[in-house]
Structure 1
Amino acid sequence: MQYVSSSVTVSSGPGADPPEVAGSGDRLLAMMRRRSSEDPITHIERVPARAGITTDWPGWVPAELRAALGRRGVEAPWKHQAEAAELAFSGRHVVIATGTASGKSMAYLLPALATLLADPRATVLYLAPTKALAADQARALAELELEGIRPACYDGDTPRAERDWIRRHSRFVLTNPDMLHHGILPGNAQWTAFLRRLSFVIVDECHTYRGVFGSHVAHVLRRLRRQCERYARPARVPSQPSGPHRRTGPVFVLASATSGDPAATAERLTGHPVAAVTEDTSPRGGVTFALWEPPLLPPDTDNPADLTPTRRSALRETADLLADSITAGVRTLAFVRSRRGAEVVATSARRSLDEAVPGLGRRVAAYRGGYLPEERRALERALLDGELLGLASTNALELGVDLVGLDAVLICGYPGTRASLWQQAGRAGRSGQEALAVLVARDDPLDTYLVHHPEALFGRPVEATVLDPGNPYVLGPQLACAAAEAPLTPADLELFGPGARAAVDELVAAGALRARPTGWYWRDPRRPEVDLRGQDGAPVCVVEAATGRLLGTVDGGSAHFLVHPGAVHLHQGVSYVVDSLDLADGCALVHPAEPDWSTHARDVTSLTVLAVRSYTDAGPVGMFLGEVDVTSQVVSYQRRRIATGEVIDTRPLDLPARELRTMAVWFTVSPQALAAAGVEPAEVPGALHAAEHAAIGLLPLVATCDRWDIGGLSTAVHPDTGAPTVFVYDGHPGGAGFAERAYAVAAQWLRATREAISACGCEAGCPSCVQSPKCGNGNNPLAKNDAVRVLDVVLANLPPEPSPPA
């Protein structure tokens, strides 16, 4: 998002004078900061208001559509909307990449609805990454009241009785990539008429399709193109009434938040050349954007031996700010990174509000994945109707659901990319009003670095979306799905990319496909089981043991950590303890309880190097990129007091190990170089461990990933390298492009890591620099100062840019 903004760096500490307040965002911020004697704000960025630029309606927009939009208050399109719509209507594949609330939906609705109104047989398919967004778009379409369009949502929540009607009669189907993959494409024979007449495919919020998920979606779209070509008929473009305009399939129109190189990303996603529209000409209200670092907690007088400084929890700080906002009548959305975190923030805010004004806590709720469909819909209605004043949500509401009238957004922890940061901040301030956004830093290396280095967030272009359709762990399963839908032919392989033939040969060798003169045939009577989101296993149902009531689900990959026996599970503010976890049946049985402790799973990891793809020889330092095997097992969990964080005990678990073949970046340092830098042999494990934690924490600064997308391992002597080594690996089969990015900018990444450690004011290491919330070894051993020495050696020998991957 290219903003012209001014900034104010705020001195922290008692007695610091707040800057002069000008708008409503500033007034709310001034109220928030009064809660602490130590000013928590490290920086304020002011984004000025911006006027919009309108243009005339394209000549091909029918009067009926202009009138319907006029009834909704749309008198004329913004310039960027008309530009993207013109490209799409002319048959060009196009991506519109502009800011939040810039009206991207108009850019794809104009050509799509104009075509549906002109051609009674034409159809449109809309894809959203979340059900909530598709449902919101369906509501907006229905309100236009255009005859014959018949928009309908077709997803996992759609009743069976309605599905057949939608297949037969809806001309504007709204769904998600998961349903396209699991339901529509496997049953393509039932969708023959719809696919034959498909004119446009709308891919909304396409910047969310990154990593393994994005790579899978890229092939789902290629499978869709393949089925459309099978059923193709000449399609008439309304702008050319003199004769049919032949094309090989539907026009793709993609909408994205502002991102780096959106055209290249859209081309990797669709397999088509794509034009990009990036100039945002919509109006925008001013935004006050504050960076907020929770204060340090007072020393633990009961444990004087523990001198590790600890900051107030970002979750608790966000909950208090959310309660303050609601008390002031400010409609506020708090983004929280985890499902559990969203529940904790909502519960804490409700408790605080009820203590201040009995009954006010009802105006706050949590929103996250794993809820039952009826719960999600009820929460969406309550927020839109104003019944709820505050919501603590995972990124499920980051996307374009129209949350009219929000005044403030709280962001609990850096969301991983600048694109997501601005997307979340943009949820507030619609209709041109002033808005407030606050990034509340977690106590970890990246968040601490960012709140003290605002130049890393503001005035910089957002990241490019990373996806790799050539990932063999994605390509092979997707080709199996395509073959199950219809036999593969040599012509099909070109659609799936240069690695398709090798992947097909592997499937034949494995007995999954049978080669015949007419193509390659799927041999198994059952369909391939492929999870688009790279999750390990089917979802696990969370069931209340006493009643049999289904509370929700957790994904299979997280079940070992979230619903292991003894785990505390939160659902809509109610606390449960897990009695048992049956992985074979995909069921966790729980009972309601309110213990005064929380649970934290611990795992052990081993790693084997399989192949080196590229390396840089830097004397005593080596930087490598390659393929690795990672074996991990959750072996125990800690119980910690909620009030103090004190560890009560550690209890063993008996869960199966899991294996992951993926990509990693790693560096080695010779023992002699470490000794020369003053790192004693006994301190090498702690130094490498601390450097590993900080490097994982800072990788999202240079790659479009989340620290939970990646893992790491460090050792004083690794058997495959024979030297002190630090590994950082992608947490998805086959890799997700993060390790490659880290290798390409290794010097920049590790320099920021070194700075984050050295700038921290703690003595021995803390969550702000080298401690990790996901460490399976309980953050032991760690040697903060020696980690700086290790990174000094690496940076002194490493060239500015390693060799590119071979």
Structure 2
Amino acid sequence: MAVKNYIEGMKNHEAFVHHIAAHKVIPGREASLGELAPPLPEALAVAVKGLGVDALYSHQVEAIEAIRRGQHTVVATPTASGKSLIYNIPVVEKVLEDPGTRALYLFPLKALAQDQLKALERLSGAVFAGEPVTAAIYDGDTPPYERKKIRTRPPHILMTNPEMLHLSILPYHASWAEFLRGLSYVVVDEVHTLKGVMGSHMAWVFRRLKRMCRYYGSDPCFVFSSATIGNPAEHTSLLADVETSAITESGSPSSTKHFVMLNTPEGASQATIKLIHSAMHRKLRTIVYCQSRKMTELIAMWAASKKAEFGEKITAYRSGFLPEERREIERRMAEGELLTVVSTSALELGIDIGGLDLCILVGYPGSVMATWQRAGRVGRSGRESLVVLIAQEDALDQYMMNHPDLFFSMPPEKAVVNPANEVLMGKHLDCAAAELPIRRGEPLFQQPAVADKLARMEAYGTLLASADGDMLFSHRKFPQRSVALRGTGDTFDIVDGGSGEMIGSVDGHRAVRETYAGAVYIHRGDSYVVTELDMDKRVAVAEKRRVHYFTRIRSHKETEILEVMDRKPLGNAWVGVGKLKVTETITGYEKRLVKGQRLLTVIPLDVPPQVFETEGLWLEVPEAVRVAMETEQRHFMGGIHAVEHAAIGILPLFAMADRNDIGGISIPHHPQLGKGAVFIYDGFPGGIGICSGVFGEADALFEKTLSVITTCPCDTGCPACVHSPKCGSGNRPIDKEASRVLLEKLKEPLTEALRVGEPVPRFPAPARHSSDEKPPVPRRFGVLDVETRRSAQEVGGWGRARLMGVSCAVLYDSETDAFTTWTEDQIPDMAKVLKEMDLVVGFNIRRFDYDVLSGTCGVDFYSLPTLDMLEEVHKRLGYRLSLDHLSGHTLGAEKSADGLAALAWWKEGRMDLIEEYCTKDVALTRDLYLFGRENGHLLFQNKAGTLVRLPVVW
């Protein structure tokens, strides 16, 4: 009765009584059972019953039978529907049949792996009288000696996470040969979390894993466990590049669940604190979900401070906490020491924290899927439960409050991944080549988009072809270390400036937006002010400080259309989709009071612009519409800016995306389009498929955008319609009425009157890559080498090359096909000849030869058109190779001496030997240049001892 009493209390409370937008009772359901055919082996059947499972649900039976057949399977059913048994039963069954069977279990969180290991040990321990099915966790917390033991004697079941597979298993596959040879199952838990950037990364990690399995002779069956999403089969098929069957009808029972939608004017955070205190008085075990780290910390801090007797029973929980902090909170919640935990999505997944009664959602989670996933955390014990969704001022929240029937009838959204993201694809192709050289004929690499990317990476030198051109190698030994799966950049550590201890972390893409100098950062109830952001060391230093304000950035953006993928009419306007280049410049940050959010001041920042390429869609506004609006004295810029905000706010209705994953920019006159436009784009380099996926529903997107603007009761605009909490210009200018008029005008049919004077967009031609274009062959080129009179040691170091003097310089002239020797007193005359040439070629010529020559006369040698082959090698590889190394492997010819010998000859007066040696060096340099110009590559031996091609464009 506690839940029913709590609901009655809400309905009678003066703060809530008039603001309950909906109360829906979702009735429980009986279980639907099934029987396996053939039945389980006797020992396994007894073990399952020993877990308290007398019969399997119908969806469990359907899934287990599909897995037995070797069918790649995804089970997308609600939380607490027994999904772990679905994969544990067939894996244990297979181990009984063949002890050489191996399975890889991937969990997004370490705590999930710990929970699953305990469950598996209970099951397997009951099956075997002797040694049970062996299972082990291999993650960052596993001690080194234990890791070695696991690699040497791999368990039947290895539990790990995506990062360990990416960083510790695939790069060291030779150490995992026995495990990979026997790999029969790959189990991926909570696969709905593998979306967006993380999912696009994992699509390539799975492709790398499958490639390695083929190499060792295995072909595992993929088993996916998911929350209820709109496209489970499509999502997992794209993710792992396999054909997947989906099981979505759950046979598990459920208890009655109440769902209350609350739209209180006092603010979501204050309402949440009241609800927390009321729940704790009734001893209801509660989980609170917030949309941001900052709000998580603030609500936990405020709720604890306002009721001292509850202070020890409330805590925050979020990513960025240290692992040991999170494990302790999970333990205390599961054992009942805590009554309330305030969390970000970090506790959305199935970590065991005991039975819960109440779930409070502070703001709409952004998707129907996430809402029901979080709601599934309560009511597991069979008791009635309650979910309270408290609306914030956000457009999507208010839309749901105004359309509760739509919310309860909406199907879950589709998960989005984009394996074609060129940025991520390139990183993982580099990783794949480092793990195992890429052979031209491998099926994965023959796909057109992949083959095109490989060709460009080879041309640039990121991948190096073998001497015969049949294989590709990475130019780095361990590229995996520079690929962070959960973001697009490296992770930054946040360090306490007083103690030096690490207090959190932030993704590199967000670091400049969240941990700039002056930013307020909150950790476990304590306020910190960032004093320094070191981009090179990837560290933000923060000092603990009590402050009464919070901070947010201000910025301005520009965008350029790089490629048009599609374009279609929308009323009298056009909507396009394609590749964009976005330039964002952070100009400063605001300080705002925590209470009331009043602006205190704006502090300027000097931060380098962030430039990245992504995918996006855009709405082109006809010039006639702009003219009409300005004739009516409406604010055109304020109108398109308001449309941008409202459209971004409502876009998550069409894709499983957070509004923070999406960016936007409004431009009254875009130079390429010749008219005003609203751009909406994926907020990650390369794009993650959000906007390209929504393009097909652009008409519905802008129709719902108009509905949000029209139905919002505010007069001039608010966060429920056209204001954005992350607007870089502080929501200025914004004109709600102008946005309504604009969208109404765009719905009118395209007429001749609207076509008159309409500018024709100047879209870019299809992109050509620099590797496609070869520079012109110089009409006359020279090849130069200089020998000195004195050594670096004699003049005080290599930085004083001007003092070394010239013993001789040899110049090859392509016009005469002759070598000429010049002495120190003849250098000015040689300079005149060099100035007549189209190109001067040398090896380390800019950093050495020109420095030496400059010490002999006043000629500006650095202004000559020059190709320094050593510089080009360093640009490609990141390290230098000697002339002797390159000529030996490319031409089969080696230098006749070295610089030390030439210095000794100078002291002996043997100019003949110096001239002969220098001429040979010039000839080698010339032949290398000509070989590279004609063949597009040189040859060298990489650090692994393999002869590979170094691409050059000369």
Q: Evaluate the alpha carbon distance shift between residue 768 and residue 191 of structure 1 in structure 2; reply closer, same or farther with a 3 A threshold.
A: same
Given the alignment of the two structures, is residue 673 of structure 1 paired with residue 625 of structure 2, yes or no? yes
Deviation at 1:692, TM superposition (A): 0.7
Q: Evaluate the alpha carbon distance shift between residue 133 and residue 796 of structure 1 in structure 2; reply closer, same or farther with a 3 A threshold.
A: farther
Deviations 1:383-438, CA, capped at 9 Å, x for gaps: 11111111111111111223431111111122221111111111111032211111
Choose 1 or 2 for highest CA Rg.
2
Match of 1:347 in 2: 301
Deviation at 1:198, TM superposition (A): 0.9
Match of 2:677 in 1: 725
Contact 1:403–1:427 (CA under 8 A) maintained in structure 2: no
Given the alignment of the two structures, is residue 184 of structure 1 paired with residue 154 of structure 2, yes or no? no
Match of 1:337 in 2: 291
Matched ranges for 1:231-310 at <5 A: 231-232=216-217, 249-295=219-265
Distance (Å, rounded) in 1 between the aligned partners of 2:429 and 2:446: 8
Contact 1:222–1:496 (CA under 8 A) maintained in structure 2: no
Stretches of structure 2 lacking an aligned partner (at least 5 in a row): 126-130, 752-765, 767-954
Match of 1:105 in 2: 84
Deviation at 1:254, TM superposition (A): 0.8
Contact 2:415–2:655 (CA under 8 A) maintained in structure 1: no
Contact 2:482–2:490 (CA under 8 A) maintained in structure 1: no
CA RMSD of aligned residues (A): 2.1
AA partner of residue 211 (structure 1): G
Match of 2:844 in 1: none
Distance (Å, rounded) in 1 between the aligned partners of 2:537 and 2:421: 30
AA partner of residue 637 (structure 2): P
Distance (Å, rounded) in 1 between the aligned partners of 2:325 and 2:41: 39
Distance (Å, rounded) in 1 between the aligned partners of 2:122 and 2:339: 25
Distance (Å, rounded) in 1 between the aligned partners of 2:588 and 2:672: 28
Deviation at 1:536, TM superposition (A): 4.0
Deviation at 1:58, TM superposition (A): 4.9
Contact 1:24–1:435 (CA under 8 A) maintained in structure 2: no
Q: Evaluate the alpha carbon distance shift between residue 572 and residue 619 of structure 1 in structure 2; reply closer, same or farther with a 3 A threshold.
A: closer
Match of 1:561 in 2: 513
Match of 2:692 in 1: 740
Contact 1:675–1:681 (CA under 8 A) maintained in structure 2: no
Deviation at 1:608, TM superposition (A): 1.1
Q: Evaluate the alpha carbon distance shift between residue 531 and residue 342 of structure 1 in structure 2; reply closer, same or farther with a 3 A threshold.
A: farther
Q: Evaluate the alpha carbon distance shift between residue 797 and residue 441 of structure 1 in structure 2; reply closer, same or farther with a 3 A threshold.
A: farther
Deviation at 1:706, TM superposition (A): 0.8
Deviation at 1:680, TM superposition (A): 4.3
Q: Evaluate the alpha carbon distance shift between residue 785 and residue 496 of structure 1 in structure 2; reply closer, same or farther with a 3 A threshold.
A: farther
Contact 2:637–2:666 (CA under 8 A) maintained in structure 1: yes
Deviation at 1:531, TM superposition (A): 3.4
Matched ranges for 1:647-686 at <5 A: 647-676=599-628, 680=632, 683-686=635-638
Distance (Å, rounded) in 2 between the aligned partners of 1:704 and 1:210: 8
Match of 2:119 in 1: 140
Contact 2:195–2:416 (CA under 8 A) maintained in structure 1: yes
AA partner of residue 9 (structure 2): M
Given the alignment of the two structures, is residue 621 of structure 1 paired with residue 581 of structure 2, yes or no? no
1:709 to 645, 661, 676: 661
Given the alignment of the two structures, is residue 66 of structure 1 paired with residue 45 of structure 2, yes or no? yes
Aligned identity (percent) is 38
Match of 2:728 in 1: 776
Contact 1:679–1:786 (CA under 8 A) maintained in structure 2: no
Residue 717 of structure 1 aligns to a residue whose secondary structure is strand
Deviates more, 1:40-49 or 1:131-140: 131-140
Deviation at 1:699, TM superposition (A): 0.4
Match of 1:96 in 2: 75
Deviation at 1:558, TM superposition (A): 1.6
Distance (Å, rounded) in 2 between the aligned partners of 1:593 and 1:575: 6
Distance (Å, rounded) in 2 between the aligned partners of 1:798 and 1:572: 57
1:316 to 270, 289, 309: 270
Deviation at 1:265, TM superposition (A): 1.6
Match of 2:317 in 1: 367
Given the alignment of the two structures, is residue 166 of structure 1 paired with residue 150 of structure 2, yes or no? yes
AA partner of residue 262 (structure 2): W
Match of 1:597 in 2: 549
Distance (Å, rounded) in 1 between the aligned partners of 2:571 and 2:123: 67
Deviations 1:214-266, CA, capped at 9 Å, x for gaps: 1221111111111111112xxxxxxxxxxxxxxx5111111111122321222
Deviations 1:164-202, CA, capped at 9 Å, x for gaps: 122233321111212211221111111111111111100
Contact 2:666–2:678 (CA under 8 A) maintained in structure 1: yes
Deviation at 1:722, TM superposition (A): 1.4
Match of 1:448 in 2: 398
1:118 to 97, 111, 118: 97
Matched ranges for 1:182-581 at <5 A: 182-232=167-217, 249-295=219-265, 312-354=266-308, 358=309, 360-494=310-444, 497-516=447-466, 517=468, 518-531=470-483, 533=485, 535-581=487-533
1:86 to 52, 61, 65: 65
Deviation at 1:679, TM superposition (A): 6.8
Deviation at 1:656, TM superposition (A): 2.2
Residue 409 of structure 2 aligns to a residue whose secondary structure is coil
Q: Evaluate the alpha carbon distance shift between residue 797 and residue 493 of structure 1 in structure 2; reply closer, same or farther with a 3 A threshold.
A: farther
Distance (Å, rounded) in 1 between the aligned partners of 2:475 and 2:704: 51
Deviation at 1:619, TM superposition (A): 6.9
Match of 1:14 in 2: none
Deviation at 1:566, TM superposition (A): 1.5
Deviation at 1:143, TM superposition (A): 3.3
Contact 2:2–2:284 (CA under 8 A) maintained in structure 1: no
Given the alignment of the two structures, is residue 149 of structure 1 paired with residue 133 of structure 2, yes or no? yes
Deviation at 1:156, TM superposition (A): 2.4
Match of 1:30 in 2: 8
TM-score, with length taken from structure 1: 0.89
Residue 431 of structure 1 aligns to a residue whose secondary structure is coil
Given the alignment of the two structures, is residue 788 of structure 1 paired with residue 773 of structure 2, yes or no? no
Contact 1:678–1:789 (CA under 8 A) maintained in structure 2: no
Distance (Å, rounded) in 2 between the aligned partners of 1:62 and 1:279: 26
Deviation at 1:529, TM superposition (A): 4.7
Distance (Å, rounded) in 2 between the aligned partners of 1:365 and 1:563: 24
Distance (Å, rounded) in 2 between the aligned partners of 1:396 and 1:798: 49
Distance (Å, rounded) in 2 between the aligned partners of 1:794 and 1:534: 39
Residue 745 of structure 1 aligns to a residue whose secondary structure is helix
AA partner of residue 186 (structure 2): V
Residue 222 of structure 1 aligns to a residue whose secondary structure is helix
Contact 2:488–2:684 (CA under 8 A) maintained in structure 1: no
Distance (Å, rounded) in 2 between the aligned partners of 1:573 and 1:277: 43
Contact 2:331–2:353 (CA under 8 A) maintained in structure 1: no
Distance (Å, rounded) in 1 between the aligned partners of 2:367 and 2:414: 10
Contact 2:642–2:723 (CA under 8 A) maintained in structure 1: yes
Contact 2:488–2:685 (CA under 8 A) maintained in structure 1: no
TM-score, with length taken from structure 2: 0.75
Given the alignment of the two structures, is residue 606 of structure 1 paired with residue 558 of structure 2, yes or no? yes
Deviation at 1:582, TM superposition (A): 1.0
Q: Aligned residues, how many?
A: 743
Stretches of structure 1 lacking an aligned partner (at least 5 in a row): 1-22, 233-247, 296-311, 800-805
Contact 1:715–1:726 (CA under 8 A) maintained in structure 2: yes
Given the alignment of the two structures, is residue 46 of structure 1 paired with residue 25 of structure 2, yes or no? yes
Match of 1:687 in 2: 639
Deviation at 1:47, TM superposition (A): 1.1
Q: Evaluate the alpha carbon distance shift between residue 563 and residue 795 of structure 1 in structure 2; reply closer, same or farther with a 3 A threshold.
A: same
Match of 2:592 in 1: 640
Q: Evaluate the alpha carbon distance shift between residue 681 and residue 156 of structure 1 in structure 2; reply closer, same or farther with a 3 A threshold.
A: farther
Residue 767 of structure 1 aligns to a residue whose secondary structure is coil
AA partner of residue 526 (structure 2): V
Distance (Å, rounded) in 2 between the aligned partners of 1:455 and 1:495: 48
Higher helix share: 2
Contact 1:751–1:795 (CA under 8 A) maintained in structure 2: no
Deviation at 1:80, TM superposition (A): 0.7
Residue 458 of structure 1 aligns to a residue whose secondary structure is helix
